[in-house]
Structure 1
Amino acid sequence: MHETALMESVLVILRESAKANGIQKVTKVKLKVGELTNALPEALELAFEAAKGDLLAQDAILEIEPVKAQILCRNCQKISTIDWLNYYCSHCLSSNVKIIAGDELLIDYYEGE
């Protein structure tokens, strides 16, 4: 379950940022999770609950915003959503594309006191 390792990394970053900003208690964490990460939101939530045990994030709630996978066509410069089977432009059918969304897992923001 790679969600546990991902969430442990998120909590390390969260603790470092909270400490650097003088935050004693985190109350909310919002993550943006791209569908290409293969991270299941339910598994991330379970991993968060299991890993947040210290006083800093003990009562924090987790909000997850799923991010759809999108590509930018290098030929026609249009943006398309993609699915797991086809990485081609839905406008001109080119496979000369660049992923522009959907591969991220990041802390969008957190709230605390």
Structure 2
Amino acid sequence: MHEAAITEGLVRTLLTEAARHQISSIKQVTVKVGQLKAVEPHALKFCFEMFVEGTIAENAKLIIVHLTPIAICQQCSTKFEVPKFHFRCPQCDSNELKLQQGEELFIESFDV
């Protein structure tokens, strides 16, 4: 379960930023997760609740925004959503793609 390591890093970053801005309570955290990260949402939420226990984010709600993989074909410049790990251009069938979105994992915002 790599969600534990991922969540530990997210919570560490969250608490560091909160301390830097002298925030005493966090009510909600929004995280953006690219689908190619293969993060299981239920496991992420479970780990989040575990790691925030006893912190200023203990009762915070975790919002997970899923980012669909988007690629640009290097042959014909078509921009498209990558369907179910099918990494071929729907226009020209090339596999020379540049991924624009789908591998991210970051805290977008948190509400106090």
Q: Aligned-pair distance for 1:76?
A: 1.6
State the partner residue of 2:30: 30
Name the TM-score, length of structure 2 as normaliser: 0.94
Q: Give percent identity, aligned residues only.
A: 29
State the partner residue of 1:111: 111
> Structure 2 CA distance, aligned partners of 1:64 and 1:51?
16
Q: Is 1:86 paired with 2:78?
A: no
Q: Aligned-pair distance for 1:84?
A: 4.2
State the partner residue of 1:75: 75
Q: Which amino acid letter does the alignment assign opposite residue 110 of structure 1?
A: F
Q: Aligned-pair distance for 1:67?
A: 0.8
- Higher alpha-carbon deviation: 56-65 or 77-86: 77-86
Q: Runs of at least 4 residues of structure 1 off by over 4 A?
A: none
1:9-48 equivalences under 5 Å are 9-48=9-48
SS of the equivalent of 1:25 reads coil
Name the TM-score, length of structure 1 as normaliser: 0.93
> Structure 1 CA distance, aligned partners of 2:85 and 2:79?
17
Q: Is 1:5 paired with 2:5?
A: yes
Query: Aligned pairs, how many?
Result: 112
